[in-house]
Structures are given as structure tokens and as C-alpha cells.
Structure 1
């Protein structure tokens, strides 16, 4: 058995909102006590109050979460400035939380700390890791690499980095009753859990491929031995923007992950991206229409449905990118509405808009860090 409940409120008052969210969850649970949960909230709420209320009602819950650039649920669809909570009860699946602190100081130590803490609570092999880590103090790629090192290659890692409504100043992560920054909270799933993942962006390549010949973490200086800015100007006739992300091909050259530009320097010809780009990687320009962006959510869902190993999933976690929300504008709500019609009517769904997504390029491949994608995670039991 896996019972999942979702609550969602757009009441601007934190106290009223979290009371409404908890009441919705309790009605769905029918007296069962959740063992774990994941919380997504807008940046301006009173987060300590919210966590205190959850701990008061569910004192033993292993809770993680973070601040967002928008929230999604099966209760209120897409919202901004809201609170949504997904909680889990199961006698077949063990779900345990862990936390790594000070990730900008030592990413390997922080990710190992999170994994060790969560795994110490179970003797079963870890199958799935769900995370909502810091996004502004360190590289999301390095956080993912640290989690891979700590978990090994048999654990799927899925998640999204915390956000702050594109202020780029300060994000918060949640762990039980704590409000933190510069941290890595995780939920580890073991036991009879079933899951599948889909990821899509809706983008298409334009122009020729180039080779990264000079890069420093997320600052791209040269492509094919020339200033990176020239590469953009050649194909766009305009400076970089999130409307034209960069495709970065994985080593086989068959699939790519995306990097969104976050500024440029005319003097050096360099382009700053939201996170790291590998040296000597093949790269190519991308473009998409608004309708193609919207179709990506359906493609992501279909990938997850096609590869789900059970009969019917019990819940869905949805993660989209803040840049997608920016580009879609008033049409953002259609991302969830597009997939809602193909989900079971009462399937609990919860998710958020992030500063970077963690998901495999294909359903059974290695996890990469992405920008400007839509990720679907389906959960259930045998």
C-alpha cells in the first residue's frame, strides 16, 4: 500500500494557508499518519511558522522541501504565491529524509552527510532519491555529482533546485522543522516502490555544432576557439537570452542537456550560464515556439507512463523550470492543464518551478542537471 495526499492553498496568510493545506491532507489520509512529505512554498511566506504547524500535526514526519518560482498540484493546478504539500503513507515503501549542510563549503561532504543520515534509518537498498537542493550558493552540477558519488549508480536521482521568484538573492530549503539555505535535503525511497521518469523541453536545434574550447565552470569563453558571444550573434543576430538555450551533448553525442544563459560580457565575449558546462563538449543553439514548449509537458508525461513498471501510478511529482514560466507568461497554467487530461482523475500531483532540474536524459539512463525542461516522476507500489 502507498497512500499519497496533497494539499494546496493560495491564501496569502501563512497561518490560514498551511491550516487549509493540512486539513486537505488529513481528509485524504482518512486517519493514517504520514511517514514523509515534500513541501513547496513561495519565497515570501513565514516558513518557520509553516514548518512548526506541520510538525505539530505530524510530529514524526520526515519532511523536505524548498522555495519556488511557482507551484503545481492536482488541487489548484498552477499557482504563484501559494503553499502545496504532498505526504506519503506506506507499509511497503520506506521513505527517509537526510540533510547535508554547508554545501558551498564542501559539496562532497554535504551530499555524503545527507545520504548517510537517510540510509542509516533503513537496511533496505535505496532505489530513488528525491531532492530540492540549494541553487544559488554553489553549482547544481556539483551537487548532483556528489549525490551520485554517495548513492552509486543503482539509485535514480530526480529533483529540482530551490528558487526565489527570479530575484536571485536567497533560496530556502526545508528539513523537518528547519528552514535552511546552502543545504541539500533528500528523501530516499526503498522497498517495493515503483517509479518512472520522463523529461522533455520542446526545443529544437538550429545551426551547426561547435566545440567548447575555453570554459570556467559556468562562464563560457570560447566555442571553436572564438568568443562564445560570436557563436550566439552568428545564429541569432542578438545577444544571449533564455529564449535560446544551449544544447550540450553528452559524451556519446546522441542526447543533449540544456544550459540557459544568464548574462554576457561584451569585453571578453564570454557568456554566463546558470550552471557548469563541460570543457570540449559539443554544443548547439536551440529555439522553440510557445506551443512547442507547452507540448513538452505531455511528452514528458508520456515517457513516464510508457516506462512505468506497474499497472497504475499512485502519485506524480512534476518539476518545471523558472525560465519556462518566464517564457510562457500567462500560458504557464497550460503546462499542467495539458497533461491533466491524460492523468487518472484522482491522481495526487504536486510540483514546482525550479532553477534547475535533475532527471535522466532517457527513462533508464544517467541523471543530468538541466535547464528549461519539464520533468515527470510517477510513483507507486508493486
Structure 2
């Protein structure tokens, strides 16, 4: 496989010429961009013109990852030409959160094939419930297919997210890439680094990804009590205190991030399901544990792969982690590359939700506040 990375910065344009000579049906062009580029899509038109035969996908972000750096107001691009792997793009519009499962089914139908090995999915980050989206994909694709990706971001604003429809940013849409061929090798890893605090509470009323009551009390009131003066900044400040959710005492927990609040109904809307009857607990983190968790995710992703010098590494982390890490954000990204192949290309983004199996070989699911790492290489 051959790869190049390029970055577009507002005011300075591309940091190197677009490698148009790499264009072809087995070339993947990944573009992660600040949400404001929906009003100025010229960089995407340039990508589409330079790579007319390639598979071009991308989404809005809460920070663009390029190598060991994190940028804002930029477009981070990886161009990867596979030697033995075929690619197929899938795309669907989604009619709100209730359509999320069916949207996953529609994508699976577009991607099905005997030698499908992996799917990388990018979804609108505000109108989609990531849990049924992933469920729709996993139920209608072979169990051995690796599914990773993320939900588009918009900083801490939660106002406007999009995915690319070729060269046009589009809201209320989901795109995915299918990877086909026996020579493809895929590694994935995820880790959170968050710690529980406060009492466990039972989710006594919820519908899908909307939480109404904890222990019979209005969820929003309870959350505001914990946040104190930070409650004025909701939903953005909730990123600092996500919720851990597990179905019972023996189940593995997942982390959930708030996307919106409803004062009238005293409800909280999350990026994924918060099942009624589950056990919930608030979480917090320190910076060292977050950085260490990124290294653990990267280690999981590369440990099962054969030794190679060339690979594509895609990191999807959460905006909540970035807000906590602050000036140490790039340390999280640097740790991902510590054990990476020598000539690996590294791109990614800060998201509103991360998609990955929790453990190697496990089923994919939606995560929040988690670092996920996907590595693609060829044997």
C-alpha cells in the first residue's frame, strides 16, 4: 500500500500538492474537517477533482488529527492506495434517531459481499442514535467483519455536524467504506481511562437514547446538582462528567455522553442508548489516565497484526477528552504512534461518539469519551 497525508489550513491552503497520481478505484481519500467548512467546501471540490476515481469520504470534527498534531480550522487528509484491497462506498440519509437502526441495515445491504473484511463508518453526530446504527450494521453483516468509525463533531457547540457526499458536506447522512480482500489486515483497540464516582443509580425511565429518570428523580435536575455552577454551560459542560452504563452488576460498562438537554421534560439526550433498568454512575478523569488509555488502545490495535512498515492508522477520540486534556491533547495523539509501524500514516478526529469492538474479536458497539484506534495494512 502507498499513502500520503496532506493538510489544508485556513489562510495557507494545502501544505503540499495533492498527490493526484495516486487516484484509482483502490484509493481511499479520508478527509476530516472543521465543521465551518460546510460554508466553504472548496477544499472538498479540490479533492474530488484530484481523485475522481477514488473513494472519498469524510466528516466534520471537534479537532482534526494529523500525524502527532491536533488542529482546528483545518482539513486533515489521508490518501491511501491499496495494492490488493477493493473498496466500496455506501451512503444513506437518516430521518432522525428513530431511523438509526434501519439506516444501518441500508448501509449493510449496500456493502454486502463474500470477501468483505472491514467497514469504516462516519455518521452525522447529532441526529443519529449510534447504538441502533451499529446494531443494524452488525446484525446484517457477517460476524467476522470489523466495524469501526465515529460520529461527526462540532466542537463543544453541538449545533451542526455533517458527512461528505463526495465533495458536498451534508447533514442527516451516514457514509461508510467497505474493504474487500483476503490480503487486508485490520487491527482495532479502544480504552477510556475514566473513573466512576458518586453512588450507583438505577435508570428508572428512558426511551432509547433519552434519559428521563434516575432512581425515580428527574435526570436533568440530578445532573445539574452534580455539575453545580457548571450546569449553566450544558450540554457542553456535561462532556466533563459522562455517564457509565451497564445492564447489571456482571455486565461490561459503556460510557455515554450528553448531546442535548430538554428543560421542559427534564430529560437528557445521549449519543447512544441508556436502557431502562440499567445501572448508571457519573464518571470523571485525570489527564495521565486519559493519555495512558490512548497508548493501551493503540497497543491493542497493532498487537494482532503482522510486522509491516506501512499502515493507515485512524484515531477517533472524544471531544470530552480533548476538553479535559487541554494543552496536553497532543500527548494523547503522540502515544498512539509510539508502537506504530515505521512509515504509518496517521489521521483522525475528535468526535461525538466512537465505534469499535470493546475487546479484540468482540462485536462492535458505540462508545463515548473513549480513544479508539483502527489500523489497516496488507499482507
Measured against the shorter chain, the TM-score band is: 0.7 to 0.9
Q: Is it true that 1:320 corresponds to 2:317 in the alignment?
A: yes
Provide TM-score, normalisation by structure 1. 0.86
Q: C-alpha offsets along residues 149-184 of structure 1, whole Å, 9 cap, x if unaligned?
A: 332433221111112223222212113233322111
1:85 corresponds to 2:85: no
2:185 to 189, 194, 203: 194
Unaligned runs of 5+ in 1: none
Counterpart of 2:149 in structure 1 is 159
Is 1:54–2:51 an aligned residue pair? no
Q: Helix, strand or coil for the counterpart of 1:365? A: coil
Q: Is the 1:197–1:359 Cα contact (8 Å) retained in structure 2?
A: yes
Report the TM-score, using the length of structure 2 for normalisation. Answer: 0.86
Matches within 5 A, 1:121-270: 123-191=113-181, 192-228=183-219, 241-249=238-246, 253-262=250-259, 270=267
Measure the CA separation in 2 of the matches of 1:350 and 1:356: 17
CA–CA separation in structure 2 for the residues paired with 1:231 and 1:179: 37
2:24 and 2:53 in contact (8 A); partners too? no
Call closer, same or farther: CA 1:235–1:69 in 2, change over 3 Å. closer
Counterpart residue number, 2:351: 354
Does residue 368 of structure 2 align to residue 376 of structure 1? no
Give distance in 2, aligned partners of 1:226 and 1:91. Answer: 57
Correspondence for 1:42: 34
Spell out, residue by residue over 1:30-84, the C-alpha distance to the aligned partner (whole angstroms, 9 max, x if none). x98852221111122355422221222211111111111111122x621111111
Aligned residues: CA RMSD: 2.9
Structure 2 spans left out of the alignment, 5+ residues: 232-236
Aligned to 2:234: none
Distance 2:137 2:346 in 1: 25
Distance 1:3 1:103, change over 3 A: farther
User: How far apart, in 1, do the equivalents of 2:159 and 2:262 lie?
Assistant: 21
Paired with 1:106 and 1:58, the residues of 2 have a C-alpha distance of 32
CA change 1:347–1:277 in 2 (3 A) is same
Matched, 1:309 2:305: yes
CA distance in 1, matches of 2:2, 2:95: 33
Q: CA deviation at 1:211?
A: 2.5
Task: Give, in whole Å, the separation in 2 of the partners of 1:56 and 1:236.
Answer: 48
Structure 2 counterpart of 1:7? 6
Whole-Å separation in 1 of the counterparts to 2:212 and 2:88: 42
Change in 2 beyond 3 A, CA 1:103/1:89: farther
Distance 1:82 1:149, change over 3 A: same
